[in-house]
Amino acid sequence: MSDSDPKKPELEIHSDEDWKSRVKAEDARLDAERNATASDAKPPTEKSSPAESSPAREESPAYDAAQLPPAEFATLMSMFSTQAMVALGVIPSPVDGKASQHLPLAKHFIDLLGVLDEKTKGNLSELESSMLGQSLHELRMAYVELSRQGGR
């Protein structure tokens, strides 16, 4: 194209400035509908089907956000280690309070810790690396010992 081409018309950009107010109005309408529906809800003894209840629509969560652990590597490692210990039968299940062995599940959680160890090499602090290495060693030794004893 050359500079002598007639000037092309510029595209007009239409900005929708009131989208936030429309979203707020829609949210308010949905909240009002939920509140009206909640007053007509079933008695607490009746269970609603999964299609009727949605976790995203719950008014109050089933947990206290202030009690959540910090989002750190140590927390992630601790979660996998705890699950492995439960599956090894070293600590009781939080569900039923009973200790039982599920060695394939324990191996899975130990392997996940191994993946974390491998994928984070060189990126952890000395303390994190030491904690992960120690945890992996202890869990692997417990797994081998329980496997030799004929655990499930």
The stretch 133-142 carries a mean pLDDT of 97
125: three-class secondary structure by DSSP: coil
Reported as a single tens digit per residue, the pLDDT across 92-117 is 998 999 999 999 999 999 999 999 99
Average pLDDT of the residues in 132-142: 97
* Distance, CA of 87 to CA of 90 (rounded, Å): 8
Q: Report how far residue 134's alpha carbon sits from residue 138's, in angstroms, rounded to the nearest whole number.
A: 6
Kindly state the average pLDDT of the residues 47-75: 70
Q: What are phi and psi of 37, to 5 degrees?
A: -70, -35
What's the mean per-residue pLDDT of the chain? 79
Token reading at 91 = 């600590």
Q: What is the pLDDT of residue 35?
A: 74
Q: Is the pLDDT of residue 44 over 60?
A: no
